[in-house]
C-alpha cells in the first residue's frame, strides 16, 4: 500500500464500539480528504473466523477501504500486534513504522491536525 499513512483498523463488525468508530471514520472530513488525496489507506482487519459475519458486514465500510480478514489467524497466534480489545487502531507512516499504537479516533484527529 503506497500512501503517506496506513491506518490499521482491527475490528469485529458485531462490536458496538467498532460500529461507532466505523461511522466516525466514514463521516470524518479529514479522513476522507486524506483518502481522496491518496495520503491515507485504511486497512480494516477482521480477526475472528466467522466468514459469514465478515461477508455480511462488508457493506459497512467505504469502498475506498481495504476490507480484509486474517484467515490464518497469524496476527493472534504469532503476536504480530498486541490486540487486547476491539476496536484497535494503529497508524503507520509510509515506511510502515508505527506512529500511533492502540489509539483513539480523537487522538488520530489531533495527530492529523498537527501534520496537515
Per DSSP, the residues of 3-48 read SSEEEEEEE-TT-HHHHHHHHHHHH-HHHHHHHHTTSEEEEEEE-S
Joined together, the cell numbers standing for residue 44 give 480494516
CATH number, position 38: 3.40.30.10
Joined together, the cell numbers standing for residue 45 give 482487519
The answer, yes or no, to whether residue 109 has pLDDT greater than 80, is yes
| Residue pLDDT, tens place only, 86-106 | 999 999 999 999 999 999 999
pLDDT classification of 18: cutoffs 50, 70, 90: very high
Q: How many structural domains are present in the chain?
A: 1
Range of the domain at 36: 5-115
Cα of 12 vs its chain's centroid, Å: 11
Averaged pLDDT, 81-88: 88
Amino acid at each position: 500500500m503506497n500512501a503517506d499513512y496506513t491506518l490499521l483498523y482491527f475490528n469485529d463488525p458485531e462490536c458496538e464500539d467498532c460500529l461507532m468508530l466505523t461511522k466516525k471514520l466514514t463521516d470524518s472530513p479529514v479522513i476522507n480528504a486524506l483518502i481522496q488525496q491518496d495520503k491515507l489507506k485504511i486497512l480494516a482487519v477482521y480477526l475472528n473466523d466467522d466468514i459469514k459475519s465478515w461477508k455480511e458486514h462488508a457493506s459497512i465500510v467505504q469502498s475506498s477501504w481495504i476490507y480484509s480478514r486474517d484467515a490464518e489467524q497469524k496476527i493472534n497466534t504469532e503476536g504480530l500486534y498486541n490486540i487486547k480489545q476491539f476496536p484497535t487502531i494503529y497508524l503507520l507512516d509510509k515506511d510502515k513504522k508505527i506512529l500511533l499504537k492502540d489509539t483513539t479516533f480523537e487522538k488520530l484527529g489531533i495527530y492529523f491536525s498537527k501534520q496537515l
